[in-house]
Amino acid sequence: MILHPKIRLLSRPAALLIAGLLLAASHALAGPEFHPGEIWTDTAGNPIQAHAGGVLVHSNMFYWYGEDRTPGTRGGVSCYASSNLYEWTREGAALPPESLPRVDGQSTFIERPKVIFNPRTKKFVMWMHLEQRGYRFASAGIAVADRPAGPFTFLNALRPNGNQSRDMNLYLDDDGKAYDIYAARDNYDLRICQLSDDFLSATTNDVIIAPDHREAPALFKYRARYYLITSACTGWAPNAANYYTADHILGPWTGHPNPCRGPNAATTFGGQSTFVLPVPGKPGAFIFIADRWKPRELPKSAYLWLPLQIKGDSLTVEWQDSWSLNWFNEKPE
């Protein structure tokens, strides 16, 4: 190849820098988008640390809670706030690690924190999987706060109706009743339990959804039918999701195969479910939220936010390299 005397080839680092800038510019021109599997930074430019979490909608704001795995910290629950779901500002530690109890002389840690608001008590209530080294503690931890960003005050730990409690989620139904969905009996039983009116304890309305050895439950409701996405129990390794449906939240529940479609659907796109977010102002629009774990570098674990669609009685989650909330306007029901 003959070059003009004034033309010089760029060095590889310079070429990569320009390519990155062009990619960033193209994202900006396209408007805000979700990029599943990419590192997601907050408004300060730091990677979001809200793993295995969930999203609360309150007073026209979104609050994203999750496991804080910021390098150099002892963990705890983080909180991020957003007005549009794309841009998140870190609000700090919703539940600092020093607030967690020591049990029988051993420290505890948190997994899968979830928060709901109790309109009767005006309290924000957090439930979590509270655990110790060895994963034999298997209990639910409960904390409360007066503000969505906290700080939350840890109240106590319990096993709902004497059952082990590992991977869990919370669900607030449209009749004001709240439920804890949790894995029990060494994860072989997936259970659902109605909470007390103050959301601080379990009632005896506690049933088995399925004895299928499932975890990572993510429950939502559409047109009076309940949907529950779960993961198999394969440790950190990704696997095929499944889902259950019911006409009553306490069952009976019917199992269905993997709803994922697209590359790597057989491993839930390399992720594991944690939450399903109904999009306010868009009836029938839901976002499937999952974690793509990196067990040797947990702070670098990425998030998968993908559009979820229901056609008839079938639920599907389709892979998207990038997408925006406009996806729901473009997809006919």
Q: Which domain, by its residues, includes 133?
A: 42-330
Do 222 and 286 contact (CB within 8 A), yes or no?
A: yes
User: How much is the pLDDT for 75?
Assistant: 84
CATH number of the domain residue 105 falls in: 2.115.10.20
Using DSSP, state whether 20 is helix, strand or coil: helix
Do 256 and 315 contact (CB within 8 A), yes or no?
A: yes
User: How much is the pLDDT for 72?
Assistant: 85
pTM: 0.90
- Structural domain count of the chain: 1
Tell me the C-alpha distance between 161 and 274, whole Å. Answer: 24
Residue from 52, 58, 51, 53 nearest 146 by CA: 58
Residue from 148, 146, 126, 48 nearest 89 by CA: 48
| pLDDT per residue rounded down to tens, the chain (333 residues) | 444 444 344 455 554 445 444 444 444 445 899 999 999 999 999 999 999 999 999 999 999 999 999 998 888 999 999 999 999 999 999 999 999 999 999 999 999 999 999 999 999 999 999 999 999 999 999 999 999 999 999 999 999 999 999 999 999 999 999 999 999 999 999 999 999 999 999 999 999 999 999 999 999 999 999 999 999 999 999 999 999 999 999 999 999 999 999 999 999 999 999 999 999 999 999 999 999 999 999 999 999 999 999 988 799 999 999 999 999 998 655
Tell me the C-alpha distance between 89 and 64, whole Å. Answer: 10
User: How much is the pLDDT for 28?
Assistant: 43
pLDDT 10s digits, 184-194: 999 999 999 99
In a domain, 117, yes or no: yes
User: How much is the pLDDT for 241?
Assistant: 98
In a domain, 9, yes or no: no
User: How much is the pLDDT for 332?
Assistant: 54
In a domain, 222, yes or no: yes
Residues 6+ apart with CB under 8 A from 152: 77, 94, 95, 99, 124, 126, 143, 144, 145
Amino acid code (one letter) for 60: N
Tell me the C-alpha distance between 181 and 140, whole Å. Answer: 11
Q: In what order do the strands lie in the sheet with 109-118?
A: 109-118, 123-131, 139-145, 153-158
